[in-house]
């Protein structure tokens, strides 16, 4: 299984998209810190679609790349991490 890419390894356009989604979804600093701690563990992720639920938001991706953030109540697709 691949590992989730670190922030500094993501393509610039993808990083920018994720920043926009963070702002749009109004994800708090404390929630982003929980995400940072999880990412630092270099978690294994599925080859296809997957998501991690943090309660107040979810991060969704495909393979080793995160793709977007969803707020509570939005449906995620793929394998739960």
Domain count for the chain, please give it: 1
C-alpha 73: how far from chain center: 16
CA 2/CA 8 separation, integer angstroms: 17
pLDDT at 23 over 90: yes
pTM flag (> 0.75): yes
81 lies in some domain: no
CA 62/CA 59 separation, integer angstroms: 10
49 lies in some domain: yes
Q: Which domain does 29 fall in, by range?
A: 7-73
pLDDT at 53 over 90: yes
Q: Are strands 49-53 and 79-80 parallel, antiparallel or unpaired?
A: parallel
26 lies in some domain: yes
61 lies in some domain: yes
Q: Are strands 57-62 and 49-53 parallel, antiparallel or unpaired?
A: antiparallel
pLDDT score of 1? 83
79 lies in some domain: no
pLDDT score of 24? 92
């Amino acid at each position: 299984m691949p590992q989730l890419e670190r922030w500094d390894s993501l393509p610039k356009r993808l990083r920018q998209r994720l920043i926009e989604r963070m702002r749009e979804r109004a994800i708090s600093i404390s929630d982003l810190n929980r995400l940072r701690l999880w990412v630092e563990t270099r978690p294994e992720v599925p080859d296809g679609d997957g998501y991690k639920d943090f309660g107040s938001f979810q991060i969704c991706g495909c393979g080793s790349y995160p793709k977007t953030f969803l707020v509570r109540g939005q449906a995620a697709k793929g394998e739960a991490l």
